[in-house]
């Protein structure tokens, strides 16, 4: 069984507008100046706590425990105000499913938030497994996070699609190919690069997938 595992933010969905708004909601609540969305973009990829730590550090302050609660309360309500799947992504997911691939999500975002966003955008129907940053004791780039997703999918052969170093590192640790999503928020070295979502079915089909989680 072949599986394709996707990162969420910056890979499946363009969530920067809502993430930046949530970050700035917390900063404003703490009487700090908001950050430009372009600056927040470079802070995404390691989960909400690290995101807030980076945002507060950029304003010469430290995040507190209550800041996470304020962030999550806001983001739970407004997480899909402007968030959308990337162009061509829905067609790519449909093509991958039609080709027989099992699909999963492995994200450092909390699982409940990830599932709610996928459902709100009608993307949940494509994925058999969703593993969040709080679903296991591990988070990407730790390969055990991705390995848990592969195990839940029952995958012997797989590929990881993501826009961040964390995604490519997790794939490497699991001994599977990684496809870097060039349209996303992060940077990484990768053997395979997709410039847009429409390239994904062809890239996945041409990899000759081997390997999987040990």
Catalytic site residues? Answer: 7
The DSSP line for the chain is -EEEEE-SBTTTEE-HHHHHHHHHHHHHHTT-----HHHHHTTTTS-HHHHHHHHHHHTT----HHHHHHHHHHHHHHTTSS-EEPTTHHHHHHHHHHTT-EEEEE-SS-HHHHHHHHHHTT-GGG-SEEE-TTSSS--TTSHHHHHHHHHHHT-SEEEEEESSHHHHHHHHHHT--EEEETTSS-----SEEESSGGGHHHHHHTS-------
């Amino acid at each position: 069984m072949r599986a394709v595992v996707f990162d969420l933010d910056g890979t499946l969905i363009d969530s920067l507008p809502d993430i930046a708004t949530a970050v700035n909601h917390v900063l404003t609540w703490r009487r700090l100046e908001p950050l430009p969305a372009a600056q927040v973009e470079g802070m995404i990829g390691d989960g909400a706590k690290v995101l807030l730590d980076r945002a507060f550090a950029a304003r010469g302050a430290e995040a507190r425990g209550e800041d996470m609660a304020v962030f999550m309360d806001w983001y739970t309500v407004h997480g899909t105000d402007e968030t959308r799947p990337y162009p061509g992504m829905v067609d790519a997911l449909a093509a991958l499913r039609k080709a027989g691939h099992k699909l999963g999500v492995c994200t450092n975002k909390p699982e409940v938030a990830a599932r709610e966003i996928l459902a709100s955008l009608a993307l949940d129907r494509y994925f058999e497994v969703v593993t969040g940053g709080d679903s296991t004791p591990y988070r990407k780039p730790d390969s055990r996070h991705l390995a848990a997703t592969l195990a839940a999918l029952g995958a012997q052969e797989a590929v990881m699609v993501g826009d961040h170093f964390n995604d490519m590192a997790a794939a490497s640790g699991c001994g599977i190919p990684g496809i870097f999503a060039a349209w996303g928020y992060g940077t990484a070295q990768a053997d395979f690069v997709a410039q847009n979502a429409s390239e994904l079915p062809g890239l996945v089909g041409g990899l000759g997938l081997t390997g999987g989680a040990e």
